[in-house]
Amino acid sequence: MAETLLEVRHLNAFYRNRGRRQQILHDVSFTIHEGEVLGLVGESGCGKTTLSRAILGINREIDGEILHHGGQPRMVFQDPASSLNPAWTVGRLLEEPLRNAGVPKQERLARAIEMLDLVGLDSASYERRPGGLSGGQRQRVGIAAAIIGQPKLVIADEPVSALDVTIQAQILDLFMRLRKELGLSYLFISHDMDVIWQISDTVMVMENGRIVETGPRDDVFRDPQHPYTKKLLDAAL
């Protein structure tokens, strides 16, 4: 049985708004094993993003346990325009995680060029700013920056929703290729059932902060148990 990378036990998460504490996540538990892609599907406002921020330690208003066995996971954001620092060059963005880990300058440069090539960008974009790239290229930079520190688990929060259909397909292929080549595991979040079907091994359905159904992809899609999952499948075109 592959090593478990992430264990989440009875997680409750809250959102503090002007003193009032609103509970967003209710008793969420799941595990991710090495090499596994866990697809999380749910509509906007169901707590998907709160979950990803809780796992990454950005949101501390939580109780319950989050056990990282595979080191600090990295994140790929939905909107490539706002997740990359507009004032920095692509090269410096890629080297940032290595710089924080104390990797020497020369080696950082080599690894950055290597990463650009791996995600299908030519090394000339090293000097360019995110502003000068297309949506698809920017998302490739986002992915490169996430995996350059060789994390075992990458959390992708709606990584393709903001892209055009043809570009979306290319980025999904990239995610699947990187998974095979680098043995990465993903927590892949999307509201699009078809995208989830294409990339996930196991699927988790979330409604209003609760996990309503979990299971291998084909079981969940072929004979969904929970009415909400059925509703999502019927609504998907």
Which of 71, 218, 227, 230 touches other proteins by CB under 8 A?
218
**Least CB distance from residue 28 to other proteins, whole Å?**
20
Residues in the chain: 237
Which of 48, 74, 108, 111 touches other proteins by CB under 8 A?
74
Determine contact, residues 201/216, Cβ cutoff 8 Å.
Answer: yes
* Residues of the chain by 3-state class (helix, strand, coil), percent to 5: 40, 30, 30
User: CB-wise, 29 or 82, nearer to other proteins?
Assistant: 82
The 98-117 contact track toward other proteins, x by CB under 8 A, reads --xx----------------
**Does residue 61 bind other proteins (CB under 8 A)?**
no
What does each C-alpha distance from 206 to 39, 73, 122, 173, 209 come to in angstroms? 11, 21, 39, 25, 6
Only one residue has tokens 């996990």, namely 211
The 139-178 contact track toward other proteins, x by CB under 8 A, reads ------x---x--------------xxx-xx--x------
**Does residue 97 bind other proteins (CB under 8 A)?**
yes
